[in-house]
Amino acid sequence: MRTSRSALAAIPLAAFLLAPLMTAAAEPPQPVAAAETYGQVLSEYQNAERDFSAAYQNATTDAERQKLFNEKYPDRDKYAARMVAVASARPDDSASVDAAAWAVSYTFNGAAHDAALKLLSERYAANGKITEAVQRLAYSQSPAAADALRKIVETNPNPTIKGYAAFALGQNLVNHDKSAEAQKVFEDVVAKYGDVKGGRGTLAEAAKGQLHEIRDLAVGKVAPEIEGQDVEGHPLKLSDYRGKVVVLDFWGDW
């Protein structure tokens, strides 16, 4: 399961944001007051996130950072459960789709994630406000995510959302070790939604990149040559390292 790769947005995730996501535990939704609104829950979450980030910036030792993590990192599962309650209480309110979309976007698994996924699929698959949510579903660990994405591809009238949902479906299948199925989906993206803007250019380019990775950069394939220069302008060639075990590390200083 790869949760750290985001194909539509090349944004390096800071380790402190990523770690809790990968360990997100499945917790039952908390009972909540039905009178809450989407805006209230959202601003409460944003404040908690801001407080955490500020405290994290000020922390000077690893022990302090760890303590902050344990005590102050906003529990997204709990906020998602409240979002689900908001959406369920007033399903026809225009903010309810935002609440459900938030809940599937900010969690990867668990009861609240599954409940929000069900709402999204059953009520909001054709909604125009789910662009970000469909992209996040690429990383959903729920077995129901693929079907929800398929339904969005079929029923949503917006070509951008259809295309993003199809692309996310392909990524989701890759993440669930279903590369053969994913290839068909990415071929479909190239054929049907290729012109939609996304990733580094269009969805066609992004999907071709994914197909190349599945076909040519999989475990068991010979690594393609890398030829270029180091920072001093000295030539550097991967094949010169044949005969050695090699770690290729795509890195940046951030």
User: For binding to another protein (CB under 8 A), which residues are involved?
Assistant: 2, 4-7, 10, 12-13, 199-200, 209-210, 212-213, 217-224, 226, 228-231, 236, 238-239, 241-254
**4 token code pair:** 């750290």
Return the amino acid letter for 59: A
Q: Smallest distance, Å, CB 241 to another protein?
A: 5
- The rounded radius of gyration (Å) of the Cα atoms in the chain is 21
Residues 6+ apart with CB under 8 A from 66: none
Nearer Cβ to another protein (54/246): 246
Q: CA 92, CA 90: separation in Å to the nearest integer?
A: 6
Closest distance to another protein from the beta carbon of 19 (Å)? 12
- Give the shortest CB-2-to-another protein separation in angstroms: 6
**What is the enclosing helix (H) or strand (E) of 228?**
strand 227-229
CB of 206 to another protein, least distance (A): 9
Closest to another protein by CB, 69 vs 78, is 69
- Give the whole-angstrom CA distance, residue 130 versus residue 152: 10
- Quote the CA–CA distance of 125 and 118 in Å, as a whole number: 10
Residue whose CB is less far from another protein, 33 or 231? 231
* Nearest to another protein of 34, 217 (CB atom): 217
Q: How far is the CB of 20 from another protein (least distance, A)?
A: 16
CB-CB contact of 196 with 156 (8 Å): no
Query: CB-wise, 31 or 251, nearer to another protein?
Result: 251
